């Protein structure tokens, strides 16, 4: 017997006798700060003769036994998942060769049907890299078929090998798993940080969830959570083992504290400024519900655009009103949701700013202006927003933006800032006012353009918000933050709080700017007469106890250019600092100023 024959015989014995075991690595969802799924991983037994899973699967491909091997490993994972809680999903690795096989959909559906409590919507088929290029056509057809049956599809190792943009466009997955090469030491790499930021933004617009794999350090976890990924996986969260574990409370705390700043939530944002103002509730029904009963409910509530059909794992599938009303009353909603319904492929978070609506791709389907877009609250559906409502909201946003709010930050605009000052004088409230702007932003824009300059303004708002959240919480009336225009912000705070906010904000702004991958020093050096060490920096201008010195809001506003000039004098002496804090003395009435330590 040749070595090849011996290898094949050994592999055949491993498959026939099931000489493999299955372990599970947890995947933590950031909205829940707990485990939402487990990935099944195969381990060859010691008696199999294979030292690793890679060696086992390489041999299976070499001897054309990959179908047989995956069927054995898949059955073991499916059986193990039968007793999991309904909301926990199973990630199954599958090679493109197997998924592209025309037998696959029928086979896996039959396997699931044999297991009580398991449905296709509980399964995420994780497409691995192996042999993909030989099966492109079949892979695309079969993944589309599987998705129609309720399976979810994930692309593994995005950012490595062939897991690129073409693969994403081909398979239209519900999940992207970022390769660990992108994640390792990401806290030290601005370029990879920007790449992940791009991918998470793509995910939000496309209804695709992003998983960061290979998390081994707390710093990596903090960075990817802040960048807005949906889930994380890696040794820091849990090594492969059993599927009956809970997330370490310390890690859950890291996720909670790092994720508070996602999507730049802003101070004093009205409900009318967010998607929540447009949400329409949906009629939720189970798959076994009869269409006749649902039609009666829809008839009684003409404003409802349709029904959400919730399967056993909590996944919501959409059925338009007309699709329900046109069916035989005895037809189950589960049957309607397969041929007529669709899982909404674009989604918005309920607290998303209305400005994000313009970036949601709107197709040209039959539903037209009544086409629904899912609005999510955590991992559940809060309702839907119709396209026509998005258009109306966009028009209204344009109408009021210049009058009430700054569209870049979503903060209250100049009018509301002046109203806040008038209130402080009228109600005899003790307040301090701070004017904040970015020094040398014009030069920065000249080199890199206004888009990156706008990013600096957003970073500044994030830095202020995080500092205030730590000190008093964003819902407190102790702090008001408004946007006067351009890069100029105005903060109104309780006495002494303005000073407490200053230094942490400057430090956070500096670290976030460095993390963008663009050095302000490089941006400014050589522009005009700016010295090589010049860079963007914060001017933090404090006007303490305004009612002790000034009699009108207009007098307070007039102090801003004077204090800004004082900050520039300090910058001329020491241009390398990242922030300049200038404070007006209480008894100076605007005549003399001092530089705060």
Counting every residue, how long is the chain?
597
For strands 372-377 and 209-212, give the pairing: unpaired
C-alpha span between 150 and 13 (Å, rounded): 34
C-alpha span between 36 and 88 (Å, rounded): 5
Concatenate the DSSP letters of all residues of 170-227 into one string: HH--SEEEE-HHHHTTGGG-HHHHHHHHHHHHHHHHHT-EEEE----SHHHHHHHHHH
Find the farthest-apart pair of alpha carbons in the chain and give their distance in angstroms, rounded.
Answer: 101
Q: What is the sign of the dihedral through the CA atoms of 286, 287, 293 and 296?
A: positive
Structural tokens at position 146: 């599987």
- CB count in 10 Å sphere of residue 102: 11
304 half-sphere exposure, CB direction, 13 A CA radius: 21
pTM of the model: 0.60
Q: pLDDT of 546-571, one tens digit each?
A: 887 888 888 889 899 999 999 988 88
Element (H, E) at 93: strand 89-94
Element (H, E) at 559: helix 553-573
- Helices in 280-327 by DSSP H: which ranges? 291-300, 321-325
Structural tokens at position 192: 């990879």
Structural tokens at position 379: 């991992």
Q: What is the dihedral of CA 120, 123, 124, 127, to 10 degrees?
A: -80
pLDDT of residue 8: 86
DSSP 8-state secondary structure symbol assigned to residue 517: T
Element (H, E) at 43: strand 34-44
φ/ψ of 493, rounded to 5, equals -140, 160
The 3-class SS string of 320-361 reads EHHHHHCCCCCCEHHHHHCCCCECCCCEEECCCEHHHHHHCC
**Which residues on neighbouring strands pair with residue 386, listed in sequence order?**
372
Domain coordinates in residue numbering, the chain: 3-260, 271-394, 406-595
Domains 3-260 and 406-595 share a fold: no
C-alpha span between 128 and 581 (Å, rounded): 54
**What's the CATH superfamily of 271-394?**
CBS-domain (3.10.580.10)
pLDDT of residue 316: 67
For strands 432-439 and 488-493, give the pairing: antiparallel
On whether the CB atoms of residues 156 and 96 are closer than 8 A, the answer is: no
- The residue ranges of DSSP E strands in 389-450, in sequence order, are 432-439
Structural tokens at position 197: 């930021």
pLDDT of residue 311: 67
| Among 280, 255, 275, CA closest to 265 | 275
On whether the CB atoms of residues 137 and 163 are closer than 8 A, the answer is: no
End-to-end CA, the chain: 84
φ/ψ of 194, rounded to 5, equals -65, -35
- What's the distance, CA 251 to chain centroid? 18
Three-class SS state of 353: strand
List of residues 6+ apart from 562 with CB closer than 8 A: 590, 593
Q: For the chain, which residues score pLDDT lower than 70? A: 1, 130-136, 160-164, 258-275, 311-316, 337-371, 376-381, 394-407, 428-429, 474-476, 515-534, 586-597
On whether the CB atoms of residues 296 and 327 are closer than 8 A, the answer is: no
| Among 341, 303, 301, 344, CA closest to 324 | 341
Structural tokens at position 457: 């303004």
C-alpha span between 291 and 311 (Å, rounded): 15
Q: Which CATH number fits domain 406-595: 2.40.110.10, 1.10.1200.10, 3.90.226.10, 3.30.70.270?
A: 3.30.70.270
CATH class of 3-260: alpha beta
On whether the CB atoms of residues 125 and 98 are closer than 8 A, the answer is: no
């Amino acid at each position: 017997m040749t070595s090849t024959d011996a290898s094949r015989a050994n592999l055949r014995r491993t498959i026939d006798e099931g000489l493999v075991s299955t372990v599970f690595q947890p995947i933590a969802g950031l909205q829940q700060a707990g485990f939402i799924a487990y990935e099944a991983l195969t381990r060859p037994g010691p008696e199999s003769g294979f030292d690793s899973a890679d060696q086992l699967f390489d041999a299976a491909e070499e001897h054309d036994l990959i179908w047989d091997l995956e069927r054995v490993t898949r059955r073991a994972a499916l059986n193990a998942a039968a007793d999991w809680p309904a909301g926990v999903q199973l990630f199954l690795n599958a090679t493109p060769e197997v998924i592209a096989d025309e037998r696959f959909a029928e086979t896996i559906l039959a396997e699931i049907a044999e297991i009580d409590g398991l449905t296709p919507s509980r399964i995420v088929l994780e497409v691995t890299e192996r042999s993909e290029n030989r099966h492109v056509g079949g892979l695309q057809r079969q993944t589309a078929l599987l998705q129609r049956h309720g399976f979810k599809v994930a692309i593994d190792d995005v950012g490595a090998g062939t897991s690129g943009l073409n693969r994403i466009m081909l398979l239209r997955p519900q999940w992207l798993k970022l390769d660990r090469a992108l994640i390792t030491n990401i806290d030290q790499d601005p370029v990879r940080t920007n790449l992940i930021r791009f991918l998470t933004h793509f995910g939000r617009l496309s209804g695709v969830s992003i998983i960061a794999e290979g998390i081994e350090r707390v710093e990596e976890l903090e960075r990817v959570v802040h960048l807005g990924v949906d889930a994380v996986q890696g040794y820091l969260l849990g090594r492969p083992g059993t599927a009956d574990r809970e997330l370490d409370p310390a890690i859950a705390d890291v996720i909670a504290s790092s994720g508070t700043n996602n999507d730049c939530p802003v101070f004093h944002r009205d409900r009318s400024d967010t998607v929540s103002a447009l949400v329409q509730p949906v009629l939720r029904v189970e798959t076994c519900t009869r269409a006749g009963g649902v039609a009666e409910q829809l008839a009684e509530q003409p404003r409802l655009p349709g029904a959400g059909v919730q399967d056993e794992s909590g996944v919501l599938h959409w059925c338009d009103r007309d699709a329900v009303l046109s069916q035989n009353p005895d037809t189950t909603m589960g049957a309607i949701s397969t041929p007529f319904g669709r899982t909404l492929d674009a989604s918005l978070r309920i607290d998303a700013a209305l400005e994000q609506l313009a970036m949601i791709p709107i197709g040209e389907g039959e539903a037209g202006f009544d086409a629904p877009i899912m609005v999510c609250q955590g991992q559940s559906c809060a309702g839907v927003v119709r396209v026509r409502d998005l258009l109306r909201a966009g028009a209204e946003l344009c109408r009021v933006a210049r009058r009430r709010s700054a569209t870049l930050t979503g903060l209250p605009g100049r009018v509301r800032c002046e109203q806040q000052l008038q209130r402080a004088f009228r109600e005899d409230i003790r307040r301090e006012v701070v004017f904040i702007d970015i020094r040398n932003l014009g030069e920065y824009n000249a080199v890199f353009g206004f888009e990156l300059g706008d990013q600096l303004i957003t970073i500044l708002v994030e830095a202020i918000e995080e500092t205030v959240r730590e000190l008093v919480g964003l819902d407190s009336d102790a702090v008001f933050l408004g946007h006067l225009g351009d890069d100029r912000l105005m903060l109104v705070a309780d006495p002494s709080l303005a000073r407490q906010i200053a230094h942490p904000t400057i430090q956070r702004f500096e670290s976030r700017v460095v993390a963008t991958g663009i050095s302000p020093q490089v941006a400014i050096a050589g522009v005009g007469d700016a010295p090589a060490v010049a860079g963007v920096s914060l001017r933090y201008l404090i006007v303490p106890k305004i009612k002790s010195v000034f009699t009108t809001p207009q007098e307070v506003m007039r102090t801003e250019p004077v204090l800004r000039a004082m900050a520039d004098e300090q910058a001329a002496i020491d241009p390398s600092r990242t922030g300049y804090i200038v404070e007006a003395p209480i008894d100076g009435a605007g005549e003399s100023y001092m530089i705060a330590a």
